[in-house]
Amino acid sequence: MSIYLDNAATTKPCDEAVAAAVDAMTVNFGNPSSLHRAGLDAQLIVDKSRKIIADSLGTSPETIFFTSGATESNNLALRGAVAAYGKRRRKIVASAVEHASVEETLKALERNDFEVVRILPRQNGEYVADDFIAACDENTVLLTMMYINNETGAILPAGDVFNAVKRRFPEIITHSDCVQAYMKFPVRASALNADLISLSAHKIHGVKGSGALYVKKGIRVLPIMTGGRQEKGIRSGTESVPLIAAFGAAVMKLNPTINERFVRAGERKLYFEKLLSGIDGVVINSVNNSPYITNIAVMGKRSEIMLHFLESRGIYVSSGSACSKGKQSGVLEKFGISDKAADSALRISITSETTEGELDELVLALRDGIEKIRG
Q: Does 354 bind ligand PLP (CB under 6 A)?
A: no
Q: Does 211 bind ligand PLP (CB under 6 A)?
A: yes
Beta-sheet strand order (sheet of 211-215)? 64-67, 211-215, 196-200, 173-177, 140-144, 91-95, 115-119
Q: Does 11 bind ligand PLP (CB under 6 A)?
A: no
| Residue of 11, 56, 71, 144 that binds ligand PLP (CB under 6 A) | 71
Cα–Cα distances (Å) from 84 to 142, 175, 314, in that order, read: 11, 14, 49
Site stretch for ligand PLP (CB under 6 A), options 44-52, 172-180, 327-335, 341-349: 172-180
The Cα–Cα gap between 342 and 286 comes to 12
Give min distance, CB of 159 to ligand PLP, in A.
17
Give min distance, CB of 293 to ligand PLP, in A.
10
- Whichever of 70 and 276 has its CB closer to ligand PLP, that residue is 70
Enumerate residues 88-107 that contact ligand PLP by CB under 6 A.
Answer: 99, 101
Site stretch for ligand PLP (CB under 6 A), options 54-62, 69-77, 127-135, 245-253: 69-77
Question: Is-catalytic flag, 178?
Answer: no
The Cα–Cα gap between 224 and 235 comes to 8
Q: What angle do CA 328, 333, 339 make, to 5 degrees?
A: 80
Binding mask of the shown chain, residues 227 to 266, with x at each position contacting ligand PLP by CB under 6 A? ----------------------------------------
Residue type, 154: A
The Cα–Cα gap between 229 and 232 comes to 6
Q: Does 295 bind ligand PLP (CB under 6 A)?
A: no
Give min distance, CB of 231 to ligand PLP, in A.
17
| Residue of 17, 172, 179, 275 that binds ligand PLP (CB under 6 A) | 179
Gyration radius of the chain's alpha carbons: 21
Q: Does 153 bind ligand PLP (CB under 6 A)?
A: no
Cα–Cα distances (Å) from 49 to 17, 26, 55, 77, in that order, read: 11, 18, 10, 21
Cβ-contact 133, 165 below 8 angstroms: yes
The Cα–Cα gap between 30 and 353 comes to 36
Beta pairing class for 211-215 and 196-200:
antiparallel
- Whichever of 98 and 195 has its CB closer to ligand PLP, that residue is 98
Residues that bind ligand PLP (CB under 6 A): 69-71, 99, 101, 146, 150, 177, 179-180, 200, 211
User: Which residues have a catalytic role annotated?
Assistant: 323
